[in-house]
Structure 1
Amino acid sequence: MKRKIRQTTNSPPDCPTLLGALDGAYDGDPTRQEIEDRYDGIEVIIPPPKTAVLSAHAESAPSTRDRDILLIEKHGRMGWQKQTGYGRRSRGETLMGRYKQVIGTMLRSRDFENQKTEARINVSVLNTMIALGRPAFERINAT
């Protein structure tokens, strides 16, 4: 079976809003505001801490942080992660950690074009290893 490697740009045409998912260390309105002001069209997703409280103007003009706090209160932290897509950040970090553990942290090629080819090959090898280790499930009708 022949596979193609798909390349994406930073702003795919079918994705009008870019997501910026950061860990809780960056929580706070100044950080969120700085990112939103600096990067046009980005949606910042930062989990507020468990002790987070709503701002004074949450009733009249809620910030994104206030909306996140209210969502967590209503749906729980896991529900908030599903609704905002925050779990994608965690999966991305896990994949990069796996890549570095299995493949290594450095590329051997010096030329940039060769580095891109090397990275594609490394990703293909890692994907094959993951696919081989994944169990195959077969649905059986219970009759």
Structure 2
Amino acid sequence: MVDSTGLKVFGEGEWKVRKHGYSKRHTWRKVHLAMDANTGQICAALMTHQDVGDAEVLPDLLDQIPAGTPIGVVGGDGAYDTRQCHAVIAAREATLSIPPRDGAAPWPQRTPGAAWRNDALDAIGSSNRREWKISSGYHRRSHAETLMYRLKMLTGRSLAARTISAQATEVAIRAGVLNRMAALARPQSVRIT
């Protein structure tokens, strides 16, 4: 499962922002994480500038996972519904769990990942997006959302370091802390009906 979130670098406190508005110094970094949904472990982490899109980073995230390591399913939100992402996932021989964007059109069959994406479009068209999410296992992506919540709640919403290299190190340390916590005492989630 892949996702991203923003962490504040420096800027005003929330009271000042509400009172006087944002200034030009409000800056944040984007943290991109790939996790193993079965173990809860972070497999890859990358910090980028706030303007870098999720789809641009997916190849770098998957490159952090050793080539010999099998990847079963790559799940993410609609931001990863690009030809580049589908090609990178297909190159790793993984299955996709990425919803086509609203208003998406079918891709030519020779495009990597097109068969899966076109099948998803057909399934959504014949029933609805909710039914497709249930049948495709898309809801497992909520594990990535939970990981982002833990990243912010347990390790803080802002970065303390001021230089980019130190911020990248801080993100790596936070990922290591979360991995250690998950290894020691990962909660068992049970669906209540």
TM-score bracket, normalised by the shorter chain, equals 0.5 to 0.7
Partner of 1:27: 81
- Residue 43 of structure 1 aligns with an amino acid whose one-letter code is T
Q: Is the 8 A contact 1:68 1:80 kept in 2?
A: yes
Partner of 1:36: 90
Assess, with a 3 A threshold, how the Cα gap between structure 1 residues 34 and 73 changes in structure 2: closer, same or farther. Answer: same
Deviation string 1:69-122 (CA, Å, 9 cap, x unpaired) is 001111211111111111111x21232133224422579x9xx8x98655544x
TM-score under structure 1 length normalisation? 0.55
Assess, with a 3 A threshold, how the Cα gap between structure 1 residues 101 and 79 changes in structure 2: closer, same or farther. Answer: same
Question: Percent identity at matched positions?
Answer: 18
- Unpaired runs of 5+ residues, structure 1, are 1-5, 11-15, 138-143
Partner Cα distance (1:56, 1:7) in 2: 36
Q: Which has the higher strand share?
A: 2
- Residue 151 of structure 2 aligns with an amino acid whose one-letter code is K
Partner of 1:95: 146
The higher radius of gyration belongs to 1
Moved more, 80-89 or 25-34: 25-34
Deviation string 1:39-78 (CA, Å, 9 cap, x unpaired) is 13x10121111111223559xxx61111110011112111
Q: May I ask how many residue pairs the two structures share in their alignment? A: 109
Say which structure, 1 or 2, has more relative contact order (CA 8 Å, 6+ apart): 2
Partner Cα distance (1:7, 1:22) in 2: 17
Residue 8 of structure 1 and its aligned partner are, at CA, apart by 8.7
Q: Is the 8 A contact 1:27 1:48 kept in 2?
A: yes
- Unpaired runs of 5+ residues, structure 2, are 1-37, 44-69, 157-169
**C-alpha root-mean-square deviation of aligned residues, in Å?**
4.1
